Amino acid sequence: MTKKQRQTDTPRQSLVDRFLSVIEHIGNALPNPATLFAIFALSLIGLSWIFSRLGLEALNPKDGSVVETINLFSRDGLHWILEHTITNFTGFAPLGTVLVAMLGIGVAEKSGLIGTALRQLVHAAPRRLLTFVIVFAGVMSNMASDVGYVLLVPMGALIFMSVGRHPIAGLAAAFAGVSGGFSANLLLGTIDPLLSGITQEAARIIDPTYAVSPACNYYFMVVSTFLIAGVGTWVTEKIIVPRLGVYEAVEESGDELEALTTREKKGLWWAAGVSLLLLALVLVGLVPENGILRDAETGSILYSPFMHGIVTFIFLGGFLAGLAYGIAAGTFKSDSDVVKGMKEAMESLALFMVLVFFAAQFVAYFKYTNLGMIFAIKGAEVLQASGLGPIPLMLSFILLAAAINLCMGSASAKWAFMAPIFVPMFMLLGYSPELVQGVYRIGDSTTNLISPMMSFFALIVAFVQRYDPKAGIGTVIATMLPYSIAFMVVWMVLLVVWLLLGLPMGPGAGLYLPG
C-alpha cells in the first residue's frame, strides 16, 4: 500500500474535533488540577497586593458603599490566611454534601443495588432514549439543589458503560443536564426563592411595593427543560460520542448484559419497598399544612428542614435501600460489609478532597480580597454604559453573566451584586424584573460546564479520571465546551422568540412593566 493510499484510509478529523483536541491538549499541559488551584491561590495574594497599591475599588450598587481591594500580602492578610485555612476547607459547601451523600451511596453501590438497578434500567428502556433520559434527569435534579452532581453524574457514566458505550460520554450528558440546565426545570427548587428575593429587593429601588414570586420564571423554565434535554442529547450523540470513540475496557466485554438472577430481583423488590416506605414518611411530613418536615413558622416547603436537609435523605435513601438489597440478595453477610462499603466510597473521593483543599483556598481568597465583587461590578458598569438596544442589550447581558460566572461560581452571590444595577436599569426602560432575572439565569447556567470556579468542578475532574487517569482540567473543558456553546445559542434564540411573541416568563410575570 502506498503512502498516499494509507493517508486516504486514515479517518480525517472534523474541524470541531481538531479544535477540541487543541483545547484538551493545552488544558492538559497545565499542571495537576490541585497544583493549578494552589498556583491560582498564590497568584491572588500577589494580585491583591498589586491592585490594593493601585487603589482598585468599585461602588457597591446594593448599598452605595465603596468596595476596596483587600491586601492579603500584609500582616493582617497573613493572619487571616493562617486563621482560616482550616475553615476555608471544612466550610467549602460541596465538601460536606459529597461526603455525607457518598456514605449512603457507598452502601448502595457495595451491596450491588446500583449495578443491578442500572442493568434492569438498560433491559427495560429503549437504548435510543437513554441519552435523553440521562440529560432530562440531570435537569430535573436541580430542584433538590446539588444532588445531581453527586448522584446522577457518576450514574450517567455507569449507565453508558453498562451498554458498551464510553462512560465519559454518559458522564458528560449527565453533567450537561445537571449544571448546564441549572436554570431549567418542571418544578421549583431551592434556588428559585433565593434569586427572586434578591430580585425583589433590587426592584424596590424603583418601586418600594414591587413583589417577585419564586415562580416568576416558571413558564420559561418548563420550555427550557425540554429544549436543553433535546440539545444535550444531540451534542452527546453527534459530537461527544464520535470524538471519544470506543472505551477499551468495555470493548472486550461485549454489549450484552446478563439477565437478573432470582436473588437480584428479590433484592430490588426489598429495596423498592424500603424506598417507598421512606417516601411515604416524607410525604406524611410534607403534605399536611402542619407537617413535621415543613417550616415550623411559615409552613413553607421550599424553606423547610426537608429541603435544607435533602442530603440527609439521600444518605438515608442510599443506606436503607442498599442495606435492604444486600440482605435480600445475600451480598451483605455482616455489618462489616456495610461499613466496608462506606470506607470504599470515602477512598474513591481521596483525589477530590485534595483538589477541594486548594480550590477552597482559592475561592476564599477571591472572596476575601473583594476582587470577585469588584470585577463583577466593573463588568456590569461597562454593559450599562454600552447604549445597546433592548434585544442586543439582553443578549449582551447573557454574555456578561456567562463571563462573570467564570470568575464567581455562586449564582446567588453574582446576582446579589448585579441585580441592584440591572434590575432598576431595565425597569426604567420598561422591562420587568422577572425578565431580567430569567436572562441572568441563562448566562449563569451556560458556562457552569467550563468554569473551574464552579463548586463541583473538582469533583467532575475526579469522576472523569476514574475512566481516564490522564485526564485533567483540559479534558473536562474540551468535553463540555460543545454543550456550553450549544446551550447558549439555543437559549438566546429562545429568548429572542420569547420577546418577539411577548410571552410571560411565569404566572403573573410579564415581560414589561404595566403602564
pLDDT at 147: 66
| 294: DSSP letter | S
DSSP one-letter string for 71-136 = PSSSHHHHHHHHHHHHHHHHT-HHHHHHHHHHHHHHHHHHHTHHHHHHHHHHHHS-GGGHHHHHHH
Of residues 440, 398, 396, the one with CA closest to residue 419: 440
C-alpha 439/C-alpha 422 separation (Å) is: 11
Residue whose entry in the numeric block shows the C-alpha cell 447556567 = 445
pTM of the shown model: 0.68
What are the backbone dihedrals phi and psi of residue 290, each rounded to the nearest 5 degrees, phi first? -105, 30
pLDDT at 2: 44
Torsion of CA 497, 172, 319, 309, to 10 degrees: -40
pLDDT tens for the chain, 515 residues: list them. 444 443 344 445 556 566 656 665 665 566 777 787 788 889 999 999 999 999 999 887 767 788 899 999 999 999 999 999 999 898 876 677 778 888 888 898 889 887 787 667 666 767 788 899 889 888 887 765 566 787 778 888 888 887 888 999 999 999 999 888 888 888 776 678 778 888 888 888 778 888 888 888 999 999 999 999 999 999 999 999 998 888 876 444 444 456 788 899 999 999 999 999 999 999 999 889 888 998 888 887 766 788 777 778 888 988 999 999 999 999 999 999 999 989 988 887 887 788 789 888 887 888 889 887 787 677 667 766 777 777 888 898 899 888 888 766 666 667 876 787 788 778 777 789 999 999 999 998 898 888 876 778 878 888 898 888 888 878 888 899 999 999 999 999 999 999 999 999 988 888 888 86
Contact 65, 420 (CB under 8 A): no
C-alpha cell, 459: 469533583
Reduced 3-state DSSP string for 54-85: HCCEEECCCCCCEEECCCCCCHHHHHHHHHHH
pLDDT at 322: 92
pLDDT at 250: 45
pLDDT at 16: 55
| Secondary element (H or E) of residue 177 | none
pLDDT at 11: 46
Q: Per-residue b/e over 132-151, b at no fewer than 16 CB within 10 Å?
A: bbbbbbbbbbbbbbbbbbbb
β-bridge mates for residue 509, sequence order? 506
Q: In the chain, how many H helices and how many E strands? A: 24, 2
pLDDT at 473: 79
Contact 268, 116 (CB under 8 A): yes
pLDDT at 466: 86
Contact 21, 244 (CB under 8 A): no
